Amino acid sequence: MFESLSQNLDNALKTLKGQGRITEINIAATVKEIRQALIKADVHYKVAKQVTDAVKAKALGRQVLTSVSPGQLFTKIVHEELTALMGSQKEAAHLTGNPAVVLMAGMQGSGKTTFLGKLAAYFKNQNKKVLLVACDIYRPAAVDQLQIVGEQIGVEVYTDSTNKNALAIAQKAVKHAKSHQQQVVIIDTAGRLAVDEAMMQEIVDLKEGLQPSETLFVVDSMTGQDAVNTAQAFNKRISFDSVVLTKLDGDARGGAALSIRTVVDKPIKFISTGEKLTDLDVFHPDRMANRILGMGDVVSLVERAEQVYDEEQAHKLEKKLRKMNLTSMTSWGSCNS
């Protein structure tokens, strides 16, 4: 996952590893290499500039600690900015309603149906009764695929081969879920292109007709900047709630996924890294930054050093205040005598 980006960032940070201190000159050289590494990984150039500008500003203003090297401190700063880029903290799926309706959207081939099965298994493991709904009315194999997935994880799949209206099928499925005390309804939809107006209108109708508690947009991480452009186009039409990144086990152009959070201003909630129905993770921005940098121990080291530094500064300040108070009291006593 992000192997090329990790290697290029590591090479960029090596510029500072042998330095005795941080200067404007070595910061400029390192920041330039980091920006090139992000752009090579297909991170949007505006996002790459935003990140590296923030890194540079923080590095110039950060106190260099005696217990860590400039390279280690710079790694911590890059970690902070990558984490912020991807959303700072994890966000859970939003499930409200009886049942809670989760609507899936994405392009064909994005790994949507496979992810849907993983998500159903995830909710089932939380002791929720789940219903999968086949609303891809254009591709018969999609219904068969969903039924196979449902059988594998032991979850019911609602189908209606006689109906050619996706919204009508979904609405009937929600009623079915209510009568069978199923708590989560996950709607599988056809993959579609943002330029196909009829297909885009269908997903708009589904969103408006169902009022789902969560609309997830599934992104194939391997599609590079196309993933970001598609996310923007879909978001303008349906204003989805959050993003799912699939195929993160590949490495070709996965860096584009890092841009999505900033470009569409929607959180990444899940990542999918394989074909097994257990290959699903809740997205943690800080953990992903650790993976990309491959330096979680360094980040922890700097955090501990900063904590010790803060404690030392507080102790010095306390001693200074005590000394000032003692001096004031002595002066006051002299005046009264």
Condensed to tens digits (0 to 9), the pLDDT of residues 161-180 reads: 888 999 999 999 999 999 99
109 and 80 co-located in one domain: no
Residue 104 lies in a domain: yes
54 and 117 co-located in one domain: no
The pLDDT of residue 272: 83
66 and 210 co-located in one domain: no
124 and 264 co-located in one domain: yes
128 and 245 co-located in one domain: yes
Query: Considering the chain, what percentage of its residues have pLDDT values greater than 90?
Result: 30
The pLDDT tens digits along the chain (337 residues) read: 567 778 888 777 776 666 656 778 878 888 888 888 888 888 888 888 998 999 888 887 665 554 456 677 778 888 888 888 888 788 888 899 899 999 999 887 777 888 999 999 999 989 999 999 999 988 878 899 999 999 999 999 999 988 899 999 999 999 999 999 999 999 999 887 777 888 889 999 999 999 999 999 998 877 777 778 888 888 999 999 999 988 776 655 557 667 888 888 899 999 887 778 887 888 888 888 887 776 554 444 445 555 554 555 555 655 655 665 555 545 545 555 5
* Domain boundary residue, one of 85, 119, 141: 85
39 and 111 co-located in one domain: no
Strands 184-189 and 242-246: unpaired
Domain that holds residue 127: 100-283
* Domain boundary residue, one of 59, 85, 111: 85
247 and 184 co-located in one domain: yes
The pLDDT of residue 103: 96
Cα 176 to chain centroid distance, Å, stands at 33
State the amino acid at position 201 in one-letter form: Q
Q: Which residue from 196, 218, 203 is spatially nearest to 109, judged by alpha carbons?
A: 218
The pLDDT of residue 303: 52
76 and 107 co-located in one domain: no
Q: Which residue from 259, 336, 206 is spatially nearest to 43, judged by alpha carbons?
A: 259
Residue 259 lies in a domain: yes
Q: Is the dihedral of CA 277, 278, 283, 285 positive or negative?
A: negative
Question: SS3 for 270?
Answer: strand
What distance in Å separates the CA atoms of residue 177 and residue 186, rounded to the nearest whole number?
11
Residue 334 lies in a domain: no
Tell me, what CATH number does 134's domain have? Answer: 3.40.50.300
CB 192 within 8 A of CB 107: yes
Question: SS3 for 268?
Answer: strand
Residue 306 lies in a domain: no
Residue 260 lies in a domain: yes
Residue 70 lies in a domain: yes
pTM over 0.85: no
Residue 291 lies in a domain: no
Tell me, what CATH number does 28's domain have? Answer: 1.20.120.140
Residue 290 lies in a domain: no
**Domain count along the chain:** 2
Q: Which residue from 282, 285, 283, 286 is spatially nearest to 303, judged by alpha carbons?
A: 286
Widest Cα–Cα separation across the chain: 103
